[in-house]
Amino acid sequence: MKKVFYILGILALTLLSSCAKDPIFKTEAVEMSGQWYVTCDAVDASGNVVLEDPDLFDIGQFIILTSSTAKNTATEMMLADTCDETFWDFRCKINADPATMTFSATDSENFFYEDCNATVTGGKIIKNGATTPSGMPADAIEFYILFSDDIYAGKYYDRLYVHGYRYTGFVNDD
């Protein structure tokens, strides 16, 4: 009977030790990476809204993504929309500062359209800075963006103000 308990004990220890988990790999920009539900307003040079419409350019709310680049450095990220023809179809490298949760880019190449560069200013992510439609707190994102092929910039507004909250996964927040 002792042999049975001994064998069962060794078997149990073997099974428990095999459940050890590998550490989760995190990218350098993990705190700033995510999927964001955003809207867009047109603003003047001072940042005052000149065209505020929940459906500006007939796009309403849309999704953008922030992620690490292939270099996986903390000072460089990708900023992109989902390229589903709802906004501008852009994918650009931006400069990032994880310590202050800020980002920017000057005349960044658009990897989606080669004849359209983007300038991103005033980019920041604010921990628990937004309230989702369901009333829950979420991280907020905001930035100004100007596309080199924007024919309305300079005539009707200076740049676009994009702002919103991090995707929560809850149906009531979609």
Please give the pLDDT value at position 72. Answer: 86
SS3 label, residue 167: coil
Residue 141: count other Cβ atoms within 10 Å of its Cβ: 26
Query: Residues 5, 52: contact at Cβ < 8 Å?
Result: no
Please give the pLDDT value at position 174. Answer: 72
Please give the pLDDT value at position 21. Answer: 67
Please give the pLDDT value at position 139. Answer: 95
The low-confidence residues of the chain, meaning pLDDT below 50, are none
Please give the pLDDT value at position 81. Answer: 86
CA–chain centroid gap for 12, Å, is: 44
* β partners of residue 160: 42, 145
Query: Residues 146, 119: contact at Cβ < 8 Å?
Result: yes
